[in-house]
Chain A
Amino acid sequence: MYESVDTKCAYAAPIQVRLAALAVFWMQCPALAYGGDAIVPANTGCDDGPHVDEVYPTSQAVPENILRFYVYFTRAMQRHSLTTAVHLFDDGGHEVEGAFYRGRYELLSADGKRLTVLLDPGRVKTGLDSHEQLGRAVTAGQTYTFTVDTEARDTSGCRLRERHEKQLEIVPARSHAIDPEAWAIEIPAAETRESIVVRLDRPYDHVSLYHRLRIRDRSGALVPGTIDLGDDEQSWRFTPASAWQESDHQLAINTLLEDISGNRVGRPFEVTRNDDVGNGTAIVGEATLQFRPPRAGEN
């Protein structure tokens, strides 16, 4: 019998059931299968250790062609300890092998607090051997668990305080380009510091949303302010540092903006060769939506 905050890894079954379930148990709870805390080296001098603050996308429902997860830690993490700490399990508790891209160098942010976990692009992308032989790592209609194990360590050598789990419900692939015309925009009143809110048509990559949408004033200068996301990365909110002027503004959309499957503005992640994406064409640009904050009380 083991004590654990993780109910899936707590064990109280009769012996015959235990033997049958051993393989699954091992997959999900390798440390506990050895005898729980006894084999995990103590986090000496670590207080409560780092933990996972957030996993993006925040939504439980993700499309089959999802391209990446982001794991935010509460502290700067040690390189090399992270790639092997991330796993994906199907609803039977079996690990999905080869789900993630594992490169020479981990995709860690400069501050060491954000790990980018790419799904193997060769499996996400159609028509390649990896996709043809192995298929995508996740299948629409099924559920999975994305986990970050306690072997992840911060730069002081402290292990993750507890295993982090995120449940996933897979929905069909989303393979069409972003069209800003499909967004609904709540325009604030002039002379106020009300937020402009953009209601998006699907979950977007949160890094992309923070960095690729900006507001410009009549002269084209960036309007200072604060950006926040909501509705599982399906809304973008901008609150200006000072009151809106009653003049023309632009929502400036860098066409590098991506949804969580890598589709961009005007260009899906995958296109057929017959589509108009010929060699030598410029591929990065800016789309703009014009708006003018009305005087309070006006529509």
Chain B
Amino acid sequence: MNTTTRAMTLMFSLFLFGCSSDESFAAKTPPALPAAMTALEFGPDATLFVADPVRNVIHAIDVSDSLEGRAVTEPLAFNLTDFGEQLAAKLEVDEASLRYYDVAVHAQSQVAFLSLGVQSGTGEEPYLASITLEGDIEILGLDNTERSTTSLEAPPDAGITFMRDVPASTLVVTDLDYSDGVLYVSGLSTGEFASTLRQIPYPFGNDASRTSIEMFHAAHGQQETRAPIRAMTLVDIDGKKTIVAAYTCTPLVTIDVDDLEDGAHVNGKTIAELGYGNQPLDILSFDVYGMDGKAEPYVLVINRDMGAKLLSLSAIAESDSSPGLSAPVAGLGFTAGTEHMTVPLSGVVQVADQNPQFLLALKRNLERGTTELLSYRKGSYMRISEFQSEYNFPDYEYAEGQEFIRQFQNQLKADEGYTTRVRN
């Protein structure tokens, strides 16, 4: 054998992401049933996108059968405090065997969908459940449902074997967002520290129409690294479609969608540091209607380790037009960047935008240890039954000038169905 390095010529050639061997995508027919179901996102009409980390695909499932006759005109609240128990009874399993993944709400019908797994002695069975405002739970049978699938995985190289079984990297989808015919897929690779954001046109078509972008993050304008997105939402800033995202390394960033060219290296702009030692679960964007009836757009970052952080879109837009953060925060416990406030929405498994007035939270009740499916009024981000205040005492006299508080309390009571407690 010869040992040499000099005799060889090192040659580089660049190719676009979409053409690389690990980025070959194909729509498959007929699609296999989901082997696992995690992240959810509604697409057009009754199309529900479902991430499947076992098959490494995204399913598009037509759930119109679950929506039949369910058109709702009035924004109503979910108040299912015994949801986990009811779901376990429906599935005829022990509640402790349930593993919850994600919730999504179909806007027009107000039917909620939940992806979950049921653990048994032989593994975890995936289920998709629909839940109505009245608490009726249905488990969707997917065998005869109209479905299509798009793969996130490249086929293995023919003829190559390994001395030990080393599975290829797969993408664990962390978030899905749909906007104007495009599904945005962010995820973490089980192998290399890839930071690919994929744009997949829907209906799923050929490979050529897909794009993949490597996301980068510059720490305070200095060191730059690849940075996978773990949660994101799409917003409109001055007519420009913009992604507001949290990376795995936690800062909040904005990315102009127009910058997303196939195979390109794109930098997000750091607009805020929301606190260390926390992992964001999801980012939602929605309008909140003020007392004057005017809608103000907001972004809400749902966290695993601290309360949710609320930012107004106008503050984000201001940060987006500035150079971004340039230095680390002052010290432990400090935050920096876009002005934000902490709202009392915590202990959540997952939160989804429900309707113009409510968010829907799948939540653990820390006192009772139960799993609840509850709506939270936008603007308040609280449920009146979760707090005791003097306003709730039957003999409390609202003083002059407290009309707003009385109306606010009455609204929250009505949301939860406590109509007899409404005070005049």
Contact = CB atoms under 8 A, between A and B. Distances in A.
A266 interface: yes
A8 interface: no
A277 B265 contact: yes
Given A109-B167, A299-B2, A283 B214 contact: yes
Nearest to B170: A110
Contacts of B223: 125-127, 270-272
B14 A187 contact: no
Given A279-B265, A294-B2, A284 B191 contact: no
A181 interface: yes
B219 interface: yes
A141 to B, nearest CB: 23
B174 A284 contact: no
Interface string B245-275: 0011111000000010101111100000101
Interface stretch (A12-20, A24-32, A143-151, A206-214): A206-214
A128 interface: yes
B331 A133 contact: yes
B188 interface: yes
Interface residues of A, number: 97
Nearest to B196: A284
Interface string A245-271: 000000100111010001000100111
A271 B248 contact: no
Given A126-B223, A210-B166, A286-B13, A280 B53 contact: no
Contact of A129 (B54, B259, B267, B273): B273
Interface string B1-15: 111110111111111
A129 B158 contact: no
Interface stretch (A84-92, A96-104, A161-169): A96-104
B56 A128 contact: no
A118 interface: yes
A225 interface: yes
A149 to B, nearest CB: 18
B190 A121 contact: no
Contacts of B158: 222, 224
A107 B124 contact: no
Interface stretch (B61-69, B276-284, B307-315): B276-284
A105 B101 contact: yes
Most chain A beta carbons < 10 A, residue from B167, B214, B281, B304 = B167
Given A211-B191, A224-B159, A282 B263 contact: yes
Interface residues of B, number: 95
A47 interface: no
A105 B218 contact: no
Contacts of B214: 283-284
A287 B10 contact: yes
Contacts of A256: 20, 22, 192, 194
A130 B157 contact: no
B93 to A, nearest CB: 14
B227 interface: yes
A208 B222 CA distance: 28
A239 to B, nearest CB: 9
Contacts of A184: 3-5
B224 interface: yes
B94 to A, nearest CB: 12
B379 interface: no
Contacts of A272: 222-224
A208 B227 contact: no
A258 B192 contact: yes
Given A111-B167, A188-B1, A208-B191, A128 B267 contact: no
Contact of B193 (A132, A134, A262, A284): A262
A98 B1 contact: no
A285 B13 contact: yes
Interface stretch (B80-88, B104-112, B115-123, B397-405): B115-123
Contacts of A9: none
B55 interface: yes
A189 interface: yes
Interface string B324-353: 000011011000100000000000000000
B160 to A, nearest CB: 7
B164 to A, nearest CB: 8
Contacts of B15: 282, 284-286
Contacts of B132: none
Nearest to B219: A127
B377 interface: no
A79 B124 contact: yes
A128 B17 contact: no
B221 interface: yes
A109 B12 contact: no
Interface in A192-219: 194, 197, 205-208, 210-211, 214
A83 to B, nearest CB: 11
B124 A155 contact: yes
Contacts of B165: 111, 113
29 contacts: A79-B36, A101-B248, A108-B53, A108-B190, A110-B55, A110-B56, A116-B190, A121-B193, A122-B250, A125-B219, A127-B220, A133-B331, A134-B277, A155-B122, A157-B121, A180-B10, A184-B3, A197-B1, A210-B162, A214-B157, A222-B159, A227-B160, A256-B20, A281-B264, A282-B263, A284-B214, A284-B263, A285-B15, A287-B10
Given A229-B163, A277-B224, 15 more contacts: A103-B248, A104-B38, A110-B54, A122-B249, A129-B328, A185-B4, A185-B8, A188-B1, A207-B167, A227-B160, A228-B163, A279-B259, A282-B14, A282-B16, A289-B9
Considering the complex of A and B, which 6 residue pairs feature the smallest CB-CB distances, nearest first?
A224-B159, A127-B219, A122-B249, A285-B14, A228-B163, A155-B123
Interface of A: 67-68, 76, 78-80, 98, 101-114, 116, 118, 120-122, 125-134, 155-157, 180-189, 194, 197, 205-208, 210-211, 214, 222-229, 241, 251, 254-256, 258, 262, 266, 269-273, 275, 277-291, 294, 299
